[in-house]
Structure 1
C-alpha cells in the first residue's frame, strides 16, 4: 500500500518530467508560417506551417499543430504572405564552365546582356582591351554571342575579329557553347594551319570563295581549341590565400543559390573542372549539393576510377553518372537532324542536317560499359536524328538486359523531338529533361530559320510527355543562359516567344507541373526523391522563398517572380538584400 501511495504521489511529477522531455525533444529549430507553403506532394499539396530541426523537416501541416514544436530556442519565421517551396534542383547545368568563363568578356545579347550586333561585339572587345591595357600578345576570351539574336543573324568572322586586333589572340564563344570564332592571331597561337583537317565530331569553317579558314570552329574543333588555350594561359596568382579559380567558383555557386537552387549540376566535367570540384569539396566550400557527370570520352582511359564515388555525397559532392554529347546546338545549327535546316548556316547547302558526334557502334560500346556496372548517363541529344540514335542504342541495350529502367538515364534537351519519340521514351524507360526556355529565348529563330513552323511548335514537348505518363524535368543549361529555372517555368506554361508569338499552344502545361519538373521530378532523376524535392516529414529542409505565389498570379507574370531566400538543410545560403 505504501509503495502504491508513493507511486500516486510521484506519478504527476514523472508525467510532468516526461512531457517536458518530449516537448524539448520535439522543439524545432525554425518554424515557417504566415504565407503560402507549396509541398509538391499530391496528397497534401499545401500546408499552413513547416517545422525544421537539425536540417530536416519534422512537421508539415496546420498552424494549430505547429504549437507542439515551439521551444525556447525556436525561431519563428513569418513569411508575410510570401511563398515557400522545396529548393529548386538543377537537372542539368555546367557550373565549372560558368566559373571558368567568369573572367571572359560578356558578349550576351538581350535580355541578359547588351551585345546585339557584330559592331557591338567588336566595340565591347576593343573597350575591354583598352580599359585593361592588355599586353599586345595577351589572349582574350569573349563568351555568349548569339547569332540568333544579333541583327546580322550570322556568326562573326575571322576578318571581323582581326579588325579588333591583329596581335591579341581572340576567341569568342557562341552562347550554346558548341561553336566559337577565332582571329588570325589565335589560329597562330593554337598552331591551326590553313590545311587543317576536320576532327571526328567537329568542323572548321571556311570561306566559300577562298576556302580559307573563316575562324569558325564547331563542336570538337571548338572544344579542343579551348582545352589547348586553357593549358597555355598563365595561372592567376593567389590573393588572400585563395586562387582565382576558387574565387570564380564561389561566385558562380552564389549565382546558382540566388536563383533558388539547393542542388547544382555539372553536366560535362572534364579537364581542370575535375580537379576544381575535388578542391572545392575538400576545402568544404560547397554550400549546396553538387552532382557531377564527367564527360565519358574525355575520361575514357580511367572511367572506372569514378565508380567508388557513384551516388555517394562526399563533402556535398556526388558522382552521378557519365555525360555523352551526341550532337550539337539547334540555335547554333550543329544539332543532328533528319530533315534539313530551314536556312542552312553560311557555307552549307540546302540539304545540310548537322552531324553526329558518335557512331552507333561507339555509343553502344560506351553505354554498355557503364550500364553493365549499374551507372547511369546524361545524353545530350538536341536534333531528332540524335534522339533517334539514343533511343535506338539504349533500346538495343534494354532488349539485351543491359539497360534497366531503374538506372533513369536522361535525355538532355530533347529539343527537336517528334511525336513518335514519346511512346519510345516511355517504353525504353528514359527520362527527358527539357530546356524549355528555348521556346521563349529562341522560339522565333527556330520558327523562322532553324526548324520551321511545324517542327518548332513541338520543341520541348512537356505536355506530350505528361499525357503519356512520363516523368520529365526541366533545366537551364547555364552558362548557355543564367541558372534561371523560373524562365523555364514561364516558357513551359505560356509557350510565348520574345516576339509574343505563341509557339505550340497544345504543349502548354499547368504551373504546378512545371514546378514539379524543377523539384520532385528532378530529385527523382538524381535518385534522391526520398530526401529532396518536396516538403515532407523526414526530407531535407532544402527550401526557397519567393516573393509571389506561382500558382496564384497570371502565368504571363511568372518571369517577374523573385527569389528572396534560399535555404539548404535549414541554413540560409542566400538572402535578397532589402532595398
Structure 2
C-alpha cells in the first residue's frame, strides 16, 4: 500500500509540473521542441539542467518534460522541431548594457574597426578608406564620418591627427569616432565650425587636446566629443524631410534589432539615450515596428527635465518599450585612457603629462544631488558608468550615502567597473550594487591594458568575475555595442578564458576565470534579474515567455566565439532564421 501511495504521489507531482497553465487554448503559433541528440539547457539552478522537450503556445512555455509527453500536444497545425545532435536550445540572451540606438549611427559611417571585427589596422588604411568615402559622397555640405578606429590596435599605436585628416580634405568637415565612444578626431574644418580652434575655448567635463603650442591636435575627449556629435547631428547630416528622416531612422533601428537577434539577443538595451533616441524607440513601438523588447535608459544630463515624463514607462512595458533606469556617466574609458584612476596611467595619453590619472565628469556634490533627485524624488534606480577605480570609489561612496533613499526594489547597477581593485569587490557586495562587467576587454585590449595603460597588476584584475562569485555577488556581462558588436558569446568566451587577441598564449588574470555556465547565467537569468524580469525571462520554465535561441553548438563545451545562432524566437515567434 505504501509503495502504491508513493507512486501515486510521484505521478501526481510529475503531472503538476508538466501540465499546461489553466485556460490553455492552442494557437496557430504553437511549437514543440523535442530532443533528438541535441539539448535543451534551461539555465535553472546552480548547475546545468536540461529537459527533453518543451511546448510553446501563446508566446509562453506551457510544458516542459519528456519527448513523448510533449508530443501529446501536437495537432495538424503544430510546428515540431527535433533538436539534432550538436544543437542547443536555451533562453534568449538578455542585453545588460549596450547602445542599440547609438549603433544605428554606425550605418552611415565608414567602418574603421580593426581586427577581430574589421580590417583598419594602420593609419594609411584609415585615411584611404575616408578618401574612398569622400569620392562616393559629393555633397560638400555634409560631413564625412568614420567610426570604430582604435589607437591601441593601429600599427602606429596613436590617434590620427588633424593634419592627417586634412590630407583627406581640409574643406569638408571630417570626424572619426574612437571605438570607445568617449573620444574622436576632427579635421580643421570641423574644429573651426565647433569654435574649438579658438585657444580660449574650453568644454566643461571634456577636453580639447592641444599641442605644446596650444593648437588643437584634433582629438576631442568626453564632453568635447559629445558636443561635436550633437553639432554634427544638428548641422552636418544630409538634409531630408522630417518624414524621410524618420523612416530612415526606423529602418536603421530595425536593422540593428535584426543584428541583435543574429547574436541570440531577444531583449535589447539602449544604455544612454538622448530624448531623440527615446522618442525614436517609442515611435517604432507605437507603429508596431519592433519585435524584440527594448529597455531604454535616459541619459541624465540630456533628460533631466524630462524624467517625470519618462517615468510613466519605468519598469513596465508598453508593448516592447520600457524605461529601465536613469544613466549617469562618471568617467571615460580605460582603453582610451580617459577613465578616472586612483593611481596614474603607465603612459599618459596624448596632451597629458606623466602622472595623469584621468578626470571625473561630475563635481561630487553636484552628482550627489542629481542621484538623490532620481532615487529619492523620482524613486527610480540608476546605472552608473564607472570604469576607473577612482570612479568606482565615487559611485560606491554615493550609493552608501544614499541608502536611506534606496528602496528594496531598486536594482542600482555599476556599468563596466573595469579597473576594479581587489578591496573594492567586498565593498560592492556590502553596498548592494549590481555590477555589469565587460570581460571582452581581456580579449581585445588585454595586452594594451597590461603594457601601455594599467600595468600587469591592474590589468590582471579587470572584470574580476571570479572574485565576484567568491563574494556571492550577482553580476551580468555585456558588450557595450558599438564598442564591440553585440557579441555576447565572445563575452562569455572571454569570461571563461581571458586570453588576449594579440597573443593567445597570454591569459590576463588566470585567477579571475569562471565556468561557462556561470558566464551564461550572466547573459540570461542574471540579466533578467538586473532588469527585474526574472519572473518572465532568463530561463526555460513553465509559464515564462518563450524567448529562445537555438545554437549550432554546445555553449558549455564548445568554443563560444565560433558557435553560430541558428534561430531566435521572441514570444514563441521565429524572428531570426539562419537555417
Shorter-chain TM-score range: over 0.9
Pair 1:345-2:346 in alignment: no
| Residue 424 (structure 1) aligned with residue 427 (structure 2) | yes
Q: Which residue of 1 aligns with 2:458?
A: 455
Matched, 1:315 2:316: no
Write the distance in 2 (CA, Å) between the matches of 1:429 and 1:160.
48
Residue 483 in 1 paired to residue 517 in 2?
no
Q: State which of 334, 338, 345 in structure 1 corresponds to 2:338.
A: 334
SS in structure 1 of the partner of residue 569 of structure 2: strand
- Aligned partners of 1:244 and 1:238: how far apart in 2? 10
CA distance in 2, matches of 1:453, 1:193: 38
| 1:284 aligned partner | 288
Structure 1 pair 337–255 and aligned structure 2 pair: CA distance change class (3 A): same
In 1, Cα distance between the equivalents of 2:318 and 2:26? 29
- TM-score, normalization: structure 2? 0.92
Q: How do 1:183-332 and structure 2 match up within 5 A?
A: 183-208=187-212, 210-232=213-235, 233-236=237-240, 243-332=247-336
For the 8 Å contact 1:270–1:299, the answer to whether it is kept is yes
Counterparts of 1:23 and 1:224, CA distance in 2 = 55
1:502 aligned partner: 507
CA-CA distance at 1:321 after TM superposition: 1.3
- Partner residue in 1 for 2:10: none
1:183, distance to aligned residue in structure 2 (A): 0.3
Aligned partners of 2:175 and 2:433: how far apart in 1?
A: 37
CA gap 1:236/1:79 in 2 versus in 1, 3 angstroms: farther
Contact 1:405/1:429, CA 8 A, preserved across alignment: no
Uncovered stretches (5+) of structure 2, i.e. residues with no partner: 1-18
Measured after TM superposition, the shift of residue 135 of structure 1 is 3.0
Which of the residues 492, 496, 516 maps onto 1:493?
496
Deviation sequence 1:362-419 (CA, Å, 0-9, x none): 2211111111132111110000000000000001111xx1123531100000000011
Alpha-carbon distance, 1:484 to partner: 0.5
Q: How far off is 1:284 after superposition?
A: 1.0
Q: Cα deviations across residues 302-348 of structure 1 (Å, max 9, x unaligned)?
A: 32221122111112000111000000010000000001111111221
Alignment partner of 1:407 is 2:410: yes
- How far has the Cα of 1:154 moved from its partner? 0.8
What's the offset of the Cα at 1:61? 1.9
Q: 1:575 aligns with which of 558, 574, 577?
A: 577
1:436 to 419, 435, 439: 439
Identify if the C-alpha distance between structure 1 residues 133 and 201 changes in structure 2 by more than 3 Å, giving closer, same or farther.
closer
**Higher deviation after alignment, 341-350 or 188-197:** 188-197
Report the Cα offset of residue 246 of structure 1: 1.3
Paired residues of 2:195 and 2:201 also in contact (CA < 8 A): no
2-structure distance, mates of 1:473, 1:60:
26
Higher mean displacement: 544-553 or 72-81: 72-81
* 1:547 aligned onto 2:552: yes
- In 1, the alpha carbon distance for the partners of 2:153 and 2:379 equals 42
- Using the alignment, how far apart are the partners of 2:401 and 2:384 within structure 1? 16
Q: Map 1:50-61 onto structure 2 (within 5 A).
A: 50-61=54-65
Structure 1-normalised TM-score?
A: 0.92
Q: Secondary structure at the match of 2:312?
A: helix
How many Å separate the matches in 1 of 2:287 and 2:23? 38
CA deviation profile, 1:32-84 (whole Å, cap 9, x unmatched) = 01220000001771111111010000112222322332233221111122100
> SS in structure 2 opposite 1:408?
coil
Q: Distance in 2 between the 1:24 and 1:474 partners?
A: 36
Determine the structure 2 residue equivalent to 1:5.
none
Alignment check: 8 A CA contact 1:443 1:497 kept: yes
Cα offset, 1:242, TM superposition: 6.8
Listed one character per residue, the Cα deviations across residues 417-446 of structure 1 (whole Å, up to 9, x for unaligned) are: 011111111111110001111110101100
Match of 2:127 in 1: 122
Distance in 1 (CA, whole Å) between partners of 2:391 and 2:458 is 15
Q: Distance in 2 between matches of 1:258 and 1:425?
A: 34
Shift of 1:252: 1.0
Residue matched to 1:11:
none
* 2:97 matched residue in structure 1: 92
Q: 2:31 aligns to what?
A: 30
Deviation at 1:274, TM superposition (A): 2.2
Q: State the distance in 1 between where 2:249 and 2:23 align.
A: 48
Cα RMSD of the aligned pairs, angstroms, is 1.9
| Contact 1:86–1:544 (CA under 8 A) maintained in structure 2 | yes
Query: Contact (CA 8 Å) 2:142, 2:238: kept in 1 or not?
Result: no
Is residue 513 from structure 1 mapped to residue 515 from structure 2 by the alignment?
A: no
CA contact (8 A) 2:88 2:551 kept: yes
8 Å CA contact 1:190, 1:229 repeated in 2: no
* TM-aligned CA distance change 1:224 to 1:216, over 3 Å: same
The answer on 1:75 being equivalent to 2:76 is: no
Q: Distance in 2 between matches of 1:303 and 1:90?
A: 23
Matched position secondary structure for 2:39: strand
Q: Which runs of 5+ in 1 are unaligned?
A: 1-18
- Total equivalences in the alignment: 550
Choose 111-120 or 40-49, whichever is displaced more.
40-49
| Compared CA separation, residues 251 and 404, structure 1 to 2 (3 A) | same
Quote the offset at 1:110 in angstroms.
0.8
Quote how far apart the aligned CAs of 1:551 are.
1.5
